[in-house]
Amino acid sequence: LLRHINTVYLIIAGILIGAGVFVALTRFIVPEIDRREKERLEKESYEINKLLDIIDESKTGLTVLKAAQRMHRPLKEVMEIAEFLEGEGIVEEADNKITLTSYGRKIRQESKNFEAR
């Protein structure tokens, strides 16, 4: 009989510990991960918009190196952003210069109109 009582206590203790871990995950750890992810996405969005602003200002296009200098960011980071934007069809590279595509200009205009509201 004593063995059965100890087993029941162990099962109850296991359930309580499991519940405690679940609460800790849902209340503290997961929201922290979400917050960090949100901050990372906001930073990336800011960097993308900054690069698009610089490209948009330069009507004839500019090199990635020149864009990196104007953004005060490492060349590798700016190249990654430019490659992403090129893959999305927002910018194109010609003669070692990156310029906005017509789709990119349309998106920029819609973004500016949205911000104006």
Q: What would the pLDDT profile of 51-61 be if each residue is shown by its tens digit?
A: 988 988 887 88
**Structure confidence at residue 11 (pLDDT):** 92
Which residues are CB-contacts of 13 (< 8 A; sequence separation ≥ 6)?
Answer: none
The closest of 93, 90, 94, 92 to 108, measured between CA atoms, is 90
> In the predicted model, is pLDDT for residue 2 greater than 70?
no
Strands 91-94 vs 97-100: parallel, antiparallel or unpaired: antiparallel
Please say whether the structural domain 2-116 has been given the CATH code 1.10.30.50.
Answer: no
Going by pLDDT thresholds of 50, 70 and 90, the confidence category of residue 23 is confident
Q: Over the chain, what is the mean pLDDT? A: 87
DSSP alpha helix (H) spans, 1-117: 2-24, 30-57, 64-71, 75-87, 102-116
pLDDT at 117: 72
Distance CA 1, CA 6 (A): 9
Residue 66 has pLDDT above 60, yes or no: yes
Q: Given its phi and psi angles, is residue 12 left (phi above 0), alpha (psi -120 to 50 degrees) or beta? A: alpha
Q: Is the pTM of this model over 0.75?
A: no
The answer to whether 102 and 110 are in contact (CB under 8 A) is no
Say what the pLDDT of residue 1 is. Answer: 57
> What pLDDT, in 10s, does the model give residues 94-106?
888 898 889 988 8
Question: What percentage of the chain exceeds 90 in pLDDT?
Answer: 25
Task: Say what the pLDDT of residue 115 is.
Answer: 76
In the chain, domain spans: 2-116
